[in-house]
Amino acid sequence: SGWKLVHADVLRAPINHPMLFAASIGTGVQIIVCGFLSVFFCALGFLSPANRGSIMMGMLCFFVITAGLAGYISARLFKTFGGSGWQRCTLLTALGFPGLCFSVFFILNILIWTYNSTGAVPVSSMLTILFLWFLISVPLVFIGAYKGYQQDVLEYPVVTSNIPRLIPEQEWYLHPVVTSMVFGILPFGASFVELFFIMSSVWMDQYYYVFGFLLLVMIILAITCAEMSILLTYFQLCKEDYHWWWRSFITAGSCAVYVFLYSMLYFTRLEANMMITYVMYISYMFIACLGLFLMTG
């Protein structure tokens, strides 16, 4: 059958942006661990929405603490791909997603200041975030990357051939856009109901307390994304297409696209009447959906 014909190419390193792929995997694992720890401690009652800011501070601390894990995984995966210059991969892991989040947050905070709003974050809090990022998170990423690059490369059960196999022309239904849109529906559907209550809690000042059920939904979401990626990879290999690294990542992460589209529909419930409200909502939801994309991918 088709998948047996590509046994010597199936574990060939991705040809497009292997450094970005390794950094995305490392950051995604960091977000997964941070998310599960946050929801787990919320379910135990250590973090409560009744204590204003405790959940956000807990998530920030967990994200900083797990930075070493992101550096370790990205560096070891990048070494397995045969990449050189692990320092650049580590910098991309340490500054990529956190840098984008901080930049958006900083720009939006400046816009809020111009409106003289009391919701603006003070300068001292911004400096605290920078302290956690550059003096704790970034060093942890480099320490983890150094440990990861010292490890042996991941051993594959098959030997990769020196000459890449020619990939036959694929059917239209195996196009990356088609597969991403189709296979992303099921993970979105698995968390759709809970997503509504989370959005209401964030944007409509409603309290959310059922963190035990949210933890169960996160486990179901993780299993669903893994099964969708495995199923698509099997279909792809049966058609003798061994470029599965990015395809499996994007397919599972495509549920974030549906979440973003749903957030745009949910925005109609907020009755916004100021331009700053549109900018803040779209920017924050974009960052949240990008984190979900990395996590599910």
The DSSP secondary structure of the chain, one letter per residue, reads -HHHHTTTTTTPPPSS-HHHHHHHHHHHHHHHHHHHHHHHHHHHTSS-TTSTTHHHHHHHHHHHHTHHHHHHHHHHHHHHTT---HHHHHHHHHHHHHHHHHHHHHHHHHHHHHTT-TTSPPHHHHHHHHHHIIIIIHHHHHHHHHHHHHSPPPPPSSPPPSSPPPPPPPPGGGSHHHHHHHHTHHHHHHTHHHHHHHHHHHHS------HHHHHHHHHHHHHHHHHHHHHHHHHHHHTT----HHHHHHHHHTHHHHHHHHHHHHGGGS---SHHHHHHHHHHHHHHHHHHHHHH-
Taking each helix axis from N to C terminus, what angle separates 86-114 and 138-150, rounded to the nearest 10 degrees?
160
CA-angle at 264, arms to 261 and 265, nearest 5° = 90
Cβ(108)–Cβ(283) below 8 Å: yes
Average pLDDT, the chain: 84
- With pLDDT > 70 as the criterion, what percentage of the chain qualifies? 98
Per-residue pLDDT of the chain (297 residues; tens, 9 = 90+): 566 777 777 777 788 888 999 999 999 999 999 999 988 888 888 877 777 777 888 888 899 999 999 999 999 888 888 877 778 888 998 898 999 998 888 888 888 888 777 677 788 888 888 888 888 889 999 999 998 888 887 777 777 777 777 777 778 777 888 888 888 888 888 888 888 888 888 777 777 777 888 888 888 888 988 888 888 888 888 887 788 888 888 888 888 999 999 888 888 877 777 777 888 888 888 999 999 999 887
Would you give the end-to-end CA distance of the chain in angstroms? 28
Taking each helix axis from N to C terminus, what angle separates 176-183 and 211-238, rounded to the nearest 10 degrees?
150
